[in-house]
Structure 1
Amino acid sequence: MSSIALVCDAGSSIDRRAVADALEIRTVTGSSLEDMLSAARREIESETYDRVAVVATTAGEPTRTRQQVETPLRAAGAETVTWVDPRLAASRPTDERARLVGAAVEAALAVATPRSTTPEPADDHVVVVDDTGLSADLATQFPVTLVSDAADYRRRDVRTVRGSPVGLLENGAGDGTGGVTVLVDRDGHTERIAADQVVWPGYDGDLADARVVHTAATGVLRAAVRVARDRARKPVAVDTSRCVVGRKGIDGCRACADVCPHDAVSIGIDGDGTVEIDAEACTDCGACLGVCPTEALLSPRGTDLGAIGDATRSALETAQSDGSSLPFVGGDSDPVVIAFTSETVLPALVEATATAEEPPTVPVPVTAASRVPASMLCATVAAGASGVALVGDPRAPSEPLEEAVDDARQLLEALVDDAPVQGVATTEPSAIVEALEAVARDDPLVDDADSIRAHAQTSMALSGTAADSLADGRQTQVTAPSMGSVTVAADDCTLCHACERLCPTEAFVQPDETTLTFDPSVCTGCRICDACPEDAIEVDDQITVPLGERETVVEADDIVCCTECGEPFASAAVLENVRSELEGSGETVDESLELCQKCRRKAGATR
C-alpha cells in the first residue's frame, strides 16, 4: 500500500515544510485544506495512493466536518483516510515537533483500517432530550426522536414527543450496550420510548457511564456514529488452528476466559477443544485479544497486533532518526515516550502534549488500550522508547489495562531493574501528563535498540524477542508474558509422540523415532503437554533467557527395528509399556508387536 500526507498549518503553529521533511512519503502542503483537496485528488488518482493521512486542526472537528474532506479523497481512490492533529507537541522546538507529528502520521497510517473492512453504522434510533440543535445534527445520520416541552419545534426528519424525561431503563446485555428505554412524563402518565442510543446533556443517573448514553453536548455525532458502527460489526471469532485451548480432556490456556470482564468467553476441553464467544455479552472491548499468546482471536474492530508493531517501529524511527531510516542516527533528538492510546481518548492526549514541555511523546492510536498486550509494552522498551504509556477510556473495564502493565513491569524489572511503563484510564489532560512524565527516562534502557520485528506478530513472539533483547547475559526464572518453559526427563520419555501431537505451537517436534526436540521460543506454557503418559514433562511459568534455538531434549539409543522390513519404528521403552498393558489386561502378546505400523497392516490383510 502507498501513502500520501496532506499537511495543513491553518489554525496551528506547525511548520508544515518541516513535517514534510520528516516524512519519507509523498506530501501535499498548504494553509487551506479546501484549496489542497484538488491537488490531493489529482495525486491520488494519478499515483494510486490508497492511504491518506490528513494533518489538520479539522481532526478535532465533528464527524460531518471531516466527512467533507474524506468524501472527495475516497472518491479519488483512497481506501483509508486517517487524521493527525497538528497541535500535538505544540510546546516542543520546531524541528523536534515536526518529527513527532511526522511519527504520529506514520503510526496512524500503519494502524488505519481500510474502509472496505469498516462497516456502515447501524441504523440506530437515537432519542435526544431537550436539545433541538443536536437533534438536527443527528438527524443527518440517524432516525431521531426529540423529547422536549418545546411546543413550536417542527422538523420533517425529527419525530417530536412533547413531555419531560424522568429516567432511563436498561435493556439487553446489562451494561447499556443493548439499548435503553426512555421514560417520559406526558401530562401525568408515563410513556416508554425504546432507543438504541440516548443523548441527554447533563444526565447523571445510573446509566450515565453506558456507551449508548451521551451526557455531554460536544462531539455527540462522532460518538454516536462510533457506537453505531461498533454495533454493526461482526463478533469476535476464534482461529482454531492457532488456539492453545485444552483438548482431549486436558486443561490448557484459559487466558481469554480469565480476563473477559463480561463473562462472554466459555471454554470446552473435550475433543479438539473449543472457545465460544457469546455475541450478546461480548462488547468487543479487546481484552481477550490483548492476552491471547498466539493471536488466535480475531476481531473486525480490534487493531491488528502486527499493525501495532509496524506503527511503533515506524514512529520510533521517524521521531528519533533526524531524517534517517535508522533509529538514533544523528544523536540530536531526545528519546520519546510511546503512548498507546484508545481512539476515544486521543483528543485529550493531544491536549496534554500541547501544554506539557516534557516529555516528547508519539501517540499510537488503537481501538482500545486493552488490545495492547504486555509483550508489546516490553518490546517497545526494547526498541528504544524512553517509556511507554497505556492510555485508556475511563468507561472501559480497567482490569485488562492494569494486568498488562503489571505483567510488563514484572519482566522489565527482572531484566533491567526498571519499568518505565504505566497505564491510565482518563480524559483529563493533566492526569495523562503525569503518566507520561512518570515513565519518561533521559535515555533508553537498552544500549542497542532492537527494532520490533515484522514477523513478531503474536504476543508470544513479541515477548520472546523483547526478553532476549533486554537480557544482559543468561538469566533464569524470568516471568515473561505469554510464555512458559518445560523440562523433559529423558530417562522417563518413551518417545511416544504424545507431546508432539498435542502441542498446538509445534514447540515439541519428533523428527524420527529416536529424537525429541523442543523450541523454547514458541512455548506458551499452556500445560497441554502435562498429559504426558510417563509424567516425563514438567511445565514452568518461568523461562531462561536468552531463549536459544530448537534443541534436542531426548535422544534414544534403544530403538527397536521392525522384524519384517528392518526399519526402526519405536523405542524399547514404548514396546515394553505396550507389552505390560496387554499382559495386564489378559490380552495375548504375539510377534506382531515387533512389526512397524505398515508391516502390521500388511500382515493383517493377508490373514
Structure 2
Amino acid sequence: MTTDPSLPEATADGRARAVALADAALDDAAPTAVVGFVSQGRCLMLGEDEPGLLAAARSLPEGMTAVVALPGDGAPSVVWNDGVPVVHGGRLRLAGALGDFVATLDSDDGSRELGSMLAPPVERFDLVVDLGRTPLLRQAMKPLGYYAPGPDEAALGPVLEALPEMQGEFEKPRYFEYDPDICAHGRSGKRGCTRCIDACPAEAIVSRGERVEVNPYLCQGGGACATVCPTGAITYAYPRASDLLAALRRMLQAYREAGGSAPLVLFHDDSAVQALAGELGARMPERVLPVQVEEAGSVGLDAWLTVLAYGADSAVVLTTDATPAQVVEGMQDELLTAREILAGMGFEERRVRLVNADRTGDAIEALALPPGDAIRRPASSVAPPDKRGRLRMAIEHLRSQATAHKRSVPLHAGAPFGEVRADPQACTLCMACVSVCPTNALQDGRGLPQLNFREWSCVQCGLCERSCPESAISLHPRFLYDVEAREKPRVLHEEQPVCCVSCGKPFATRSMLEVLSRKLAGHWMFQTEESRRRLQMCEDCRVRDLFAEEARKGRQ
C-alpha cells in the first residue's frame, strides 16, 4: 500500500490527511511468496504481414532468436528466410507465460507443437510478439512476456526496445492464497460457485473437478477473485487484507487525532495515479484519503465495511477506463450487496461507491458529496484474518451505531448471504444436501431425523439445491442482523423416525420409505410381500432376512 504525500494542505482536513498518510505504511506486513521466471530470449513473432514480421525478427539484438509464424487454414510447413525460420499455415493456439509459451498448430492433419517443426526443436518460447490485426490472446490482462502491438508500427517500436530487457531471471509476487477445503466450487460432481473463474481478467483460474486451480504464472494480481469469493477460499496476499486493514485503522486514527473530520477512503491503483496528480487530486476535498493498492479490484465488501467501522465516512474505489470489465462487474455486484446491507441499518448508499477517474468532472462531483452522520464510536479491534470474520466484526459494529434496526433485509439473487428452505412435503431427509455443503451450513441431526441450518455459514452457492433429488431445497438471499438467530443452528425439517419391523431400532423416516417404495414398485426384486417387507427393516435385519430366505430355499 502506498499513499501520495503531495496533496493540498489548505484546511485542517488537509493537514490531518498529511499526518495520516505518513502513518499508513505497511512496515509489519507479512511477506508475500514469489513466482520465478527464466527467459533466454527465444521469441515467437506472429501475424499476417510476412515482410513486417521478418523485419522485426532481424531487428533483435545478438543473443536473441526469433521464429516467424503466419497462421492459416492449410497444413503447417517451415521455410527458412535468410536464417529466420518461417512457419506457414495451421491454426495457432498459445498457452503459457514468460519463459514458458507453448505454441500449437491445428490443421486437418491433426495438431502438433510449432517448436517440434524446427531444427533443432524448440520446447518453449520465452517471448511472444503478436502483430496480428486481432490479438491471439483476448483476456484483459495478458501474460507476462506477451506483447500485442498489432500491425501498428508506432506501437511496435517500444515493444522491440523492451524485448532485450526481458532476458534473464525475474520474480513477481504470488498474489493469492487458496484453501480448497472451504472452496464452494463443487461437490459430488455438482457445480457450485464459479465467481472467481468469471471475475479473473487474466483467465488464470480454471475448474478442476470439485476445486479450482489458479496458475500463479498467469495471475497478474487483479484481485477480483478474492473480492468475489464468498467463503474466503481465495485470499489476496499482496498485501493480505488483515495487514492492509491494520494500516488503514492506524491511518484513520491518526487522521482523527490530527483534527480531521469525515474521512473518505479512496482506494485506487497505478492506473489512476496520473488523474490524482492532476485536476482530480487538486480539486477533490481534502478529507479524501487516497490509498494506492496493487489493483483496485483487490478490495471489496469486507474491506469497505471494515473501514466504515473504523470511522471512515465512506469508502470509494477509483477505477479507470483501463480497469477490466469483469473486474468492474464483480465490484458492482459487491457494491450492491454492501448497499443492501447498509440500507437495512439506515446508512445511505453513497457510503460505498465506484468512481471512474477518467471521467474527471463526474469523479470530482462524486467525491464532493457532503458527508453523512459520523458513527459515534469507531471500532478499535484488529480485523480478523478470515473474510467472514471481518464481515461479522464490521457489520456488528456498524449495527451498534445504526439508526435502523431491521431484523433482516432481502438481498439480490447471487448475494453470498441468505437462508435455505426445505419443503416439508418433499424433503425425505436423505441428507444429500448435507453431504455437499462446503461450509457446513447444513448439518444432520446427529442421530435424529433432522435437517439443521446455520445461516451465517451459508454462502448461497447452490450446491444443496442442485443436489437434492426431490427438488425440496430453495435459496433465499437475505441478510439476517439478529446475531443469535444468524449463528445458532435451527431445524429446517424433521420427522419421527420409523422403527425396524424386525428389531425395533429407529432407522429411517416415513417419507424416505414412501419414496423408496414408489421407486422400487416395478423392480423385479420387490414383487412379493416378503421382499417389500424388507424395505421396512434396518440394514442389519435386511441382510439377515435375505440370508434366512436363501437358507430356506436351500433346504427346499
TM-score class normalised by the smaller sequence:
0.5 to 0.7
What secondary structure sits across from 2:292 in the alignment?
A: strand
Larger relative contact order (Cα-Cα within 8 Å, sequence gap ≥ 6): 2
Map 1:428-447; keep pairs closer than 5 Å: 433-438=364-369, 441-444=371-374, 446-447=375-376
Map 1:192-591; keep pairs closer than 5 Å: 198=161, 232-233=172-173, 238-261=178-201, 263-267=203-207, 273-277=210-214, 283-297=220-234, 302-320=238-256, 322=257, 333-343=260-270, 345-346=272-273, 349=276, 355-356=282-283, 358-392=285-319, 394-401=321-328, 403-405=330-332, 406-407=335-336, 408-413=338-343, 415-416=345-346, 418-420=348-350, 421-426=352-357, 433-438=364-369, 441-444=371-374, 446-447=375-376, 449=378, 454-455=383-384, 457-458=386-387, 462=391, 466=395, 469=399, 472-479=405-412, 481-512=415-446, 513-530=448-465, 531-546=467-482, 548-554=486-492, 556-561=494-499, 568-588=506-526, 589=531
Unaligned residue ranges in structure 1 (runs of 5+): 1-81, 128-144, 149-155, 159-166, 200-211, 214-220, 324-331
Deviation at 1:520, TM superposition (A): 1.4
Q: Is the 8 A contact 2:195 2:225 kept in 1?
A: yes
Q: Is the 8 A contact 2:309 2:378 kept in 1?
A: yes
> In the alignment, residue 381 of structure 1 is paired with which amino acid?
L
Deviation at 1:503, TM superposition (A): 1.0
Change in Cα spacing, 1:580 to 1:244, as seen in structure 2 (3 Å) is: same
Report Cα offsets for 1:534-565 as digits up to 9, x if no partner: 33221123444446232322353511345677
Map 1:81-230; keep pairs closer than 5 Å: 85-88=4-7, 90-93=9-12, 100-101=17-18, 103-104=20-21, 107-109=24-26, 112=29, 114=31, 117-118=33-34, 169=131, 173-174=137-138, 177=143, 178-180=145-147, 198=161
Change in Cα spacing, 1:318 to 1:540, as seen in structure 2 (3 Å) is: same
Change in Cα spacing, 1:565 to 1:311, as seen in structure 2 (3 Å) is: farther
Q: Is the 8 A contact 1:484 1:526 kept in 2?
A: no
Change in Cα spacing, 1:380 to 1:597, as seen in structure 2 (3 Å) is: farther
Change in Cα spacing, 1:235 to 1:86, as seen in structure 2 (3 Å) is: closer
Deviation at 1:356, TM superposition (A): 4.7
Deviation at 1:476, TM superposition (A): 3.5
> In the alignment, residue 525 of structure 1 is paired with which amino acid?
Q
CA distance in 2: counterparts of 1:458 and 1:197, whole angstroms: 44
Sequence identity, in percent? 24
Report Cα offsets for 1:236-265 as digits up to 9, x if no partner: 675322221244453422222333345554
Q: Is the 8 A contact 2:131 2:151 kept in 1?
A: no
Change in Cα spacing, 1:429 to 1:385, as seen in structure 2 (3 Å) is: same
Number of residue-to-residue matches in the alignment: 447
Change in Cα spacing, 1:424 to 1:476, as seen in structure 2 (3 Å) is: closer
> In the alignment, residue 315 of structure 1 is paired with which amino acid?
M
What secondary structure sits across from 2:490 in the alignment?
A: strand
TM-score, structure 1 as length reference: 0.59
Unaligned residue ranges in structure 2 (runs of 5+): 44-56, 65-128, 552-556
What secondary structure sits across from 1:486 in the alignment?
A: strand
Q: Is the 8 A contact 2:227 2:298 kept in 1?
A: yes
Q: Is the 8 A contact 2:267 2:292 kept in 1?
A: yes
Q: Cα RMSD over matched residues? A: 5.0
Q: Is the 8 A contact 1:291 1:459 kept in 2?
A: no
Change in Cα spacing, 1:555 to 1:297, as seen in structure 2 (3 Å) is: closer
> In the alignment, residue 296 of structure 1 is paired with which amino acid?
A
Change in Cα spacing, 1:597 to 1:348, as seen in structure 2 (3 Å) is: farther
What secondary structure sits across from 2:511 in the alignment?
A: helix
